[in-house]
Chains A and B, each alone.
Chain A
Amino acid sequence: MTDASSPVAHLSPVRPATETAIDLDHIGKSFRMENGRELVAIDEVSLKIGKGEFVALLGPSGCGKSTILRLVAALEAPSRGRVVVEGREPEDLSRAHRLGVAFQDHALLPWLTISANVALPFQLAGRSVDRKRVEELIRLVGLAGFEQARPRQLSGGMRQRASIARSLVLHPDVLLLDEPFGALDAVTRRQMNVELQRIWTDERITTLLVTHSVEEALFLADRVVVMSGRPGRVIKTIEVPFERPRQPAIMRSAEFHDLVDELTLALEPEEAA
């Protein structure tokens, strides 16, 4: 907390109400099962995410949080309600190459080097590759020296870093993270959270993170939204009071622990009763 005394008032955690970047307006999503029955994945969710805000969606598995992310990414269409991203249809954002994603599947192409994988969004957008930007991001995620390596030569954590670098390379307007560290061990995961927090503080992109880790959500996000199990709906929202840039030390503070307890209880209502 070295910066606490320095004049960084504009970094205050509770942001003033700025323009809305992502607007989920009473959305619902149902899937038709093979036996003809209807499965309600999301009951009714309304959520506004401001420009430059980092929101974490927290919930048990199967609560439809990944589905929300897929709706924002235009990989699915809502059954009810409307999704508006940057004032437009979600497809417009991906068509304009303004969207960055990192999923639990790193989805690196095995035949490309790390450098070529990170540069891929440039090529898919039909732009010439900005070598400096690619190099800078590879360095930022701590993969310098592995530019010419292939994904299979790297550890799980390093692959996820490459996938994070790829999601940021085009300076996207919106960043979607779906359990990007879900497959990692606890130590690596914590380390990746610290690095992502540092990178994000530099870039300040509107971000929606889906996770089932309470600590991850609290450490990274400006606002944590808790969802209930199937059918998914929002049951709790808390503003995270920690200033940025956040040091790993805050994870040991009493305030952090209290919030962890509060969120954990919200996730397990049966135990609370």
Chain B
Amino acid sequence: MRPEPATPNRPLRMLKTALSRYWGVIAVLVIWQAWVSISGVNQIVLPQPVDVFRDLVAEPGIYLRNAGQTLLLAALGLILGMLLGTVIAVLAWSSTLLSGILTPLGLVFSSVPVVALIPVIARIMGYDLKTVLAIVVIISFFPAFVFTSAGLKTLPPGSSDLFRVLGASRWTRFTRLVLPSAVPSWMIAFRLAAPPAVLSAMLAEFLMGTSGLGYLFRSAASGFQTERALGTSVVATVISVLCFTFALWAERAVLRKWN
């Protein structure tokens, strides 16, 4: 990992920024490698970073297949959960009666820890992908419900009077004012919900799944394939970071247009 000698300007500068930003990651890798080499810890306890990297390169199919499945479940669950949260928030907005029923129910439901929910839902829905999906939906539901509910009530100043004076119907008011007003809050919900969607998918797979990244990690760890387990962690980390970055980018892009 030595910087290449003097082909100046762009490549060098890029390397410099990379080093200044990610030197922490590099330092951890170097210390990890050094510690394993010097202390001679058993491979099963802690493999060298090089071994983990070798496993990632040697068996890309296993990682890709499982990561793909986890990512797909997380994305699908995120979409369904946010859709459900939005629809219920709109229903609660449209009638005080429904609001009185749905709001406390949503709050109670979402404060149950997800770890406690997984075995219950698995018993009901079976030990397969459906349960993983259901968990992600439940996790994604809450931020969508809370933020959409708040967003439906934060209208631009004066706009509510304006729509009344201009004789807008209740439906026009909803589609042209209330719903668009909720978009910024909805994007915050999306940014907040995306990383936990991946995390909860992996957790559900870890606890009761038969495939996916979470399952891959569990089976590798219990089979003493520590380098496979750590490789899974690397892939999971990369996915989480990518999801977060994407959600942040999406939020900013929308807010730029909206505010």
The majority secondary structure among interface residues of chain B is helix
The one of B156, B162, B164, B167 that contacts A125, using a Cβ cutoff of 8 Å: B167
Which A residues touch B16, using CB under 8 A? Answer: none
9-residue interface stretch from B55-63, B175-183, B188-196, B231-239: B175-183
- Contact A109:B156 (CB < 8 A) given known A95-B167, A97-B167, A152-B259: yes
- Contact A110:B156 (CB < 8 A) given known A95-B167, A99-B166, A101-B165: yes
Q: B43 contacts the other chain (Cβ, under 8 Å)?
A: no
Closest to B161 in A: A75
Closest to A103 in B: B158
- Contact A121:B166 (CB < 8 A) given known A107-B156, A111-B183: yes
Output the least CB separation between B235 and chain A (Å).
38
Output the least CB separation between B178 and chain A (Å).
11
- Contact A107:B166 (CB < 8 A) given known A126-B172, A152-B259: no
Which B residues touch A96, using CB under 8 A? Answer: 167
The one of B165, B169, B177, B257 that contacts A109, using a Cβ cutoff of 8 Å: B177
- Contact A105:B166 (CB < 8 A) given known A111-B257, A111-B258, A124-B176: no
Q: B157 contacts the other chain (Cβ, under 8 Å)?
A: yes
- When chains A and B are docked, how far (Å) is the Cα of A110 from the Cα of B183? 12
Evaluate contact between A75 and B164: CB separation under 8 angstroms: yes
Which A residues touch B107, using CB under 8 A? Answer: none
Q: B159 contacts the other chain (Cβ, under 8 Å)?
A: yes
- When chains A and B are docked, how far (Å) is the Cα of A110 from the Cα of B169? 21
The one of A106, A125, A150 that contacts B166, using a Cβ cutoff of 8 Å: A125
- When chains A and B are docked, how far (Å) is the Cα of A150 from the Cα of B257? 8
Output the least CB separation between A170 and chain B (Å).
8
Output the least CB separation between B37 and chain A (Å).
57
Q: A5 contacts the other chain (Cβ, under 8 Å)?
A: no
The majority secondary structure among interface residues of chain A is loop
The one of B157, B166, B183 that contacts A97, using a Cβ cutoff of 8 Å: B166
Q: What does the 1/0 interface line of B186-227 toward A look like (CB < 8 Å)?
A: 000000000000000000000000000000000000000000
Residue with the greatest number of chain B CB neighbours at <10 A, chosen from A75, A103, A109, A120 = A109
Evaluate contact between A124 and B172: CB separation under 8 angstroms: yes
Q: Total A-B residue pairs with C-beta atoms closer than 8 Å? A: 65
Q: What does the 1/0 interface line of B90-110 toward A look like (CB < 8 Å)?
A: 000000000000000000000
Evaluate contact between A103 and B161: CB separation under 8 angstroms: yes
Chain A interface size, under 10 / 10 to 19 / 20 to 34 / 35 or more: 20 to 34
The one of A99, A105, A123 that contacts B165, using a Cβ cutoff of 8 Å: A99
Output the least CB separation between A85 and chain B (Å).
12
Q: B127 contacts the other chain (Cβ, under 8 Å)?
A: no
- When chains A and B are docked, how far (Å) is the Cα of A73 from the Cα of B162? 10
Which B residues touch A121, using CB under 8 A? Answer: 166
Interface residues of chain A, those whose CB is within 8 Å of chain B, are 73-75, 94-97, 99, 101, 103, 105-111, 120-121, 123-126, 150, 152, 176
Task: Enumerate 19 A-B pairs (CB-CB under 8 Å) in ascending A order.
Answer: A73-B161, A74-B165, A75-B161, A75-B165, A94-B165, A99-B166, A99-B167, A103-B158, A103-B161, A107-B158, A109-B156, A109-B177, A110-B258, A110-B259, A120-B166, A124-B163, A124-B167, A124-B168, A152-B259
Q: Which 5 residue pairs are nearest across A and B when measured between Cβ atoms?
A: A105-B158, A107-B158, A124-B168, A107-B162, A124-B166
